[in-house]
A and B are shown apart, each in its own frame.
Chain A
Amino acid sequence: MPRRTMIEAIRDAMDVSMARDERVIVFGEDVGFFGGVFRCTQGLQAKYGKSRCFDTPISESGIVGSAIGMAAYGLKPCVEVQFADYVYPAYDQIVSEAARLRYRSNGDFTCPIVVRMPTGGGIFGGQTHSQSPEALFTHVSGLKVVVPSNPHDAKGLLIAAIEDPDPVIFLEPKRLYNGPFDGHHDRPVTPWSKHELGEVADGHYTVPLGKAVIRRPGAAVTVFAYGTMVYVAQAAAEETGIDAEIIDLRTLLPLDLETIVASVNKTGRCVVVHEATLTSGFGAELSALVQEHCFYHLEAPVARVAGWDTPYPHAQEWDYFPGPARLGRALLETMEA
């Protein structure tokens, strides 16, 4: 099976979707002729023409707002916001419009759009190229929120998102675009070609939305992770020698509660890890759900390892980013609790 980077997998997902369904339209800033600042749409305009893949003015509300209108017409726009940090001008369109269109019109109009955006830190991106705003979307009824962690999933989840009848926020951890990253910034990064999850089948396949996957089976403690943190968790388990069960959530909304509950009921302990800031982050929701559904199985408090409640700094990158050492400490504390 061919190995691809996450960038290539994402591009392939759009390519496959555009070939299968002429209603699929791709646009955003620098997405057309240039092929995107991360190369995710390279070649699509040449292959499908300017009506199917095009550059837009620098206006996030314009990109998402026009996509909603297109979806109401009957197209399936898959649009890009260059960095998740720049989605806020489109927040009104996403929250007030895309998420509610089906509900408020009782299905008279629907909004099958995908909003792709590179997310996450670990790249010296500073305050506005590193944020993880997923909790701002998981709080919104009517949205689906997806965060892939590898090329295979990225392609399958993106095709599923494009085919989904509801609006999907598709967060792509840019730190993972070229290879997995476990937080050891002092070590050389391995490319996806060396990783089995870099294997991406040609043609059409989907990874279902709303389904988590166990990346590392374990008996001692459950770790809930998504995006880059999946690899951080694997490193932390290895380095501490703790038999952690690592769950890659993949879709945050709707959430795969069944897999979550089954795992915690088995291990009795749980650590949640995400890059996003702690307070009111998605970890709070996970932690509350575990408390509600697994209370009598819990042998230790649910721990949360997250970005600090500060804007994402530049020079202090590795003091901020929740790496394997910090997660490892939380695992040890949870085991001792």
Chain B
Amino acid sequence: MADAGMLRFHVPEPEVRPGGTPDFSDVTIPKAGSVPRAEIDVDPRTIRDMAFSIIRVLNRAGEAVGPWAGLLSDDELLEGLRHMMTLRSFDARMQMAQRQGKTSFYMQHLGEEAVSCAFRKALAPGDMNFPTYRQAGLLIADGYPMVTMMNQIYSNEADPLKGRQLPIMYSSKEHGFFSISGNLATQYIQAVGWAMASAISNDSKIAAAWIGDGSTAESDFHSALVFASTYKAPVVLNVVNNQWAISTFQGIARGGSGTFAARGLGFGIPSLRVDGNDYLAVHAVAKWAAERARKNLGPTLIEYVTYRVGAHSSSDDPSAYRPKAESDAWPLGDPIVRLKNHLIQRGVWSDERHTQAEAEILETVIAAQREAERHGTLHAGGKPSARDMFEGVYAEMPPHLRRQRQQAGV
């Protein structure tokens, strides 16, 4: 071998930084309807291509086309649109509430509303999601009261988590929404364990695991995949690829080395890639994976290709690391606009009704906010008692905590 010279260290960089012109020319977007639909009991080895394409239903004209179309009625789609609009409105109000100092922190879903809202409608009662902090659409679409969500965000006297948790770290067993943890990826393997438990118990319930593109680099992502595959656990393994992990573009998690969906293939898990801004496609793929799990055919990995339009959190300023107009250039558009256009094209919706619905939803959100604020906000009004701080560490309070509670004078 010839003299190899000095080694050079490689660090991936996004194509464009602030000040540059957004460029997604390297993102290949297949035509809507072009990816075939397989039977749920397909031999996973024969659908490997699906991990490298993108399943899409809605075309540019707003029509639902191809083999993944046709699952949802007009009413179901109108409901889906309402859920996404509600989540967006909720986000905007809570973001504003954070800016007004009514809470310490918030994280929006802007641009990703279809993923969690459509997925929820593919689940059955009793199924359990193990969400990250960016799937509140699961709660909205399941009818969890917005007031309760806000009470949690405000850490007020009616907060179901007694003020112990950072805002948006919701928990609702009743609504199939596992307690959110700040530690990334931990819930991915827990979802697999929950699914294993359902199988061990000969139950019919399935689990859904959630993770972002950045967190796929955590070790729990890998342990989840191997456990899910080993035990054929009835779990849907969701990867929401919104291109960004705070300031870090998905290439640092080694996106672009293939796809995140393709990671599943090495574990023998059927893996699909879907247009995350296409409500119909998300729902169709989620339903396919849920049915596979329910029929004891094992796990499915789904990569949702989407874009994080908003800041990472209320503590983040994306203009420091990516072009301001990048989200406008995103080739998969806006999930709400796309479903709206489809419904107009179907003849069951109009711009006027959309504007009217926006106003109605905003009113509902404001009413919920008003009700929540009657119970207090982070720095004003009713708050959880300091006694609550000592409760629930254990099922029964041990003597050392009783002593500390006495010391605290509560």
- Name A residues whose Cβ lies closer than 8 Å to a Cβ of B: 25, 51-52, 56-57, 59, 61-62, 65-70, 72-75, 77, 89, 92-93, 96-97, 100-110, 141-142, 144, 164-166, 210, 254-255, 257-258
B171 contact from A57, A77, A105, A210, Cβ within 8 A: A105
**Which residues 390-404 of B sit at the A interface, judged by CB distance below 8 A?**
392-395, 398-400
The reply to whether the CB of B274 lies closer than 8 angstroms to some CB of chain A is no
Q: Is B57 an interface residue (CB 8 A)?
A: no
Asked if B339 is at the interface (CB within 8 A of a chain A CB), the reply is no
A129 to B249, CA, bound (A): 41
Q: Given A77-B193, A104-B169, output 17 extra A-B contacts at Cβ < 8 Å.
A: A57-B227, A57-B230, A61-B219, A69-B196, A69-B207, A72-B193, A75-B201, A102-B392, A102-B395, A104-B165, A105-B161, A106-B164, A108-B179, A109-B171, A142-B394, A164-B395, A254-B399
Q: Which B331-357 residues have a C-beta within 8 angstroms of A?
A: none
Q: When the two chains form their complex, are residues A102 and B394 in contact, meaning their CB atoms are under 8 A apart? A: yes
Beyond A75-B201, A106-B164, A108-B172, whether A69 also contacts B399 by CB under 8 A is no
Measured in the bound complex, the distance between the Cα atoms of B169 and A70 in whole Å is 21
| Complex Cα spacing A255 to B201, Å | 36
Which chain B residues in 375-410 approach chain A with CB under 8 Å? Answer: 392-395, 398-400
Q: Mark B277-293, 1 if CB is under 8 A from A, else 0.
A: 00000000000000000
* B203 to chain A: closest residue by CB: A73
Q: Given the interface contacts A96-B181, A104-B179, does A69 sit within 8 Å of B189 by beta carbon?
A: yes
**What is the minimal beta-carbon distance from B209 to any residue of chain A, in angstroms?**
9
Q: Which residues of A contact B399 (CB under 8 A)?
A: 254, 257-258
Q: B223 — which chain A residues lie within 8 A by C-beta?
A: 57, 59, 61-62, 65
B183 within 8 A of A: yes
> Is B240 engaged at the interface, CB distance under 8 Å to the other chain?
no
* Cβ–Cβ < 8 Å partners of B188 in chain A: 65
**Could you list 22 examples of A-B contacts with CB < 8 Å?**
A56-B230, A57-B230, A65-B189, A65-B224, A69-B192, A75-B197, A75-B200, A77-B193, A89-B219, A103-B164, A104-B161, A104-B164, A104-B169, A104-B181, A105-B179, A106-B171, A106-B392, A108-B173, A110-B395, A141-B393, A142-B393, A164-B395
Pick from A69, A102, A142, A254: contact of B400, CB below 8 A: A254
A107 CA / B395 CA spacing, docked (Å): 8
Query: Cβ of B192: which chain A residues have Cβ within 8 Å of it?
Result: 65-66, 69
Contact of A92 among B171, B179, B186, B200 (CB under 8 A): B186
A contact residues around B194 at 8 Å (CB)? 69-70, 72-73
Of A73, A106, A257, which one neighbours B161 at CB under 8 angstroms? A106
CA distance A93 to B191 in the complex (A): 13
Q: Is B226 an interface residue (CB 8 A)?
A: yes
CA distance A164 to B394 in the complex (A): 10
| Docked CA distance A67–B162 (Å) | 26
Assembly CA distance A141 to B394 (angstroms) = 9
CB contact under 8 A between A66 and B190, given known A57-B227, A97-B183: yes
A104: B residues at CB distance < 8 A:
161, 164-165, 169, 171, 179, 181
B63 at the interface (CB under 8 A from A): no
Of chain B, the residue at the smallest CB distance from A68 is B190
Residue contact B219 to A69, C-beta cutoff 8 Å: no
Given A92-B183, A92-B186, verify A73-B201 contact (CB < 8 Å).
yes
CB of B195 closer than 8 Å to a CB of A: yes
Q: How far is the CB of B387 from chain A (nearest CB, A)?
A: 13
Report the contact-size class of chain B (Cβ under 8 Å from the partner): 35 or more
Smallest CB gap from A209: residue in B? B398
Contact indicator A97/B173 (Cβ below 8 Å): no
- Given the interface pairs A61-B220, A65-B186, A254-B400, the reply to whether A102 lies near B173 with Cβ below 8 Å is no
Whose C-beta in chain B lies nearest to the C-beta of A54? B231
Residues of B within 8 A of A65 (CB): 186, 188-190, 192-193, 220, 223-224
The list of the 6 closest CB pairs from A to B, nearest first, reads A69-B193, A66-B193, A65-B189, A62-B223, A73-B197, A69-B190
CA A138 to CA B173, docked complex, whole Å: 29
CB-defined contacts of A25 to chain B, threshold 8 Å: 197, 200
* Distance in Å: Cβ of B236 to nearest Cβ of chain A: 14
CB distance from A322 to the nearest CB of B (A): 26
In this complex, the member of B191, B194, B226 whose beta carbon has the largest number of chain A beta carbons within 10 angstroms is B194
CA distance A102 to B394 in the complex (A): 7
Q: Give complex CA distance A73, B201 in Å.
A: 10
Expressed in whole angstroms, the Cα–Cα distance for A105 and B161 within the complex equals 6
Give the distance in Å from the alpha carbon of A258 to the alpha carbon of B402 in the complex.
Answer: 14
Q: Using Cβ atoms and an 8 Å threshold, which residues of chain B touch A70? A: 193-194, 196-197, 200
CA distance A258 to B220 in the complex (A): 41
Contact across chains for A165 and B395 when beta carbons are under 8 A apart: yes
User: Does any Cβ of A come within 8 Å of B154's Cβ?
Assistant: no
B186 touches A93 (CB 8 A): yes
| Chain B residues whose CB sits within 8 angstroms of the CB of A57 once the complex forms | 223, 226-227, 230
B162 CB to closest chain A CB, in angstroms? 5
The reply to whether B178 and A109 form a contact with Cβ atoms under 8 Å apart is yes
B310 within 8 A of A: no
- How far apart are the CA atoms of A77 and B162 in the complex, in Å? 28
Taken together as a complex, chains A and B put the C-alpha atoms of A14 and B73 apart, in Å, by 52
Bound CA–CA A196/B226 (angstroms) = 45
Residues of chain A within 8 A (CB-CB) of B161 are 104-106
Residues of chain A lying within 8 A (CB to CB) of residue B193: 65-70, 72-73, 77
Chain B: CB-nearest residue to A257: B399
Q: Given A93-B186, A96-B186, A104-B161, do A62 and B393 touch, yes or no (CB 8 Å)?
A: no
Complex Cα gap A75–B205 (Å): 14
Pair A69/B191 contact, Cβ less than 8 Å: yes
Give A52 to B196 CA distance when docked, in angstroms. Answer: 11
Q: How far is the CB of B159 from chain A (nearest CB, A)?
A: 9
Q: How far is the CA of A56 from the CA of B193 in the complex (A)?
A: 12
Considering the chains assembled together, what is the distance between the CA atoms of A164 and B272 in angstroms? 41
- Cα distance A258–B207 when bound, in Å? 45
**Is A97 a contact of B200 with CB atoms below 8 Å?**
no
Residues of chain B lying within 8 A (CB to CB) of residue A257: 399-400
Chain A residues in 8 Å Cβ range of B398: 210, 254
Q: Which residues of A contact B392 (CB under 8 A)?
A: 102-103, 106-107
Shortest beta-carbon distance, A110 to chain B, in Å? 7
Q: Which of A51, A69, A102, A104 counts the most chain B CB atoms within 10 A?
A: A69
The answer for the CA separation of A72 and B169 in the assembled complex, in Å, is 17
- In the bound complex, residues from chain A placing their C-beta under 8 Å from that of B169 are 104
Asked if B189 and A62 sit within 8 Å, CB to CB, the answer is: yes
A51's partner among B171, B172, B189, B200 (CB-CB below 8 A) is B200
CB distance from B396 to the nearest CB of A (A): 8
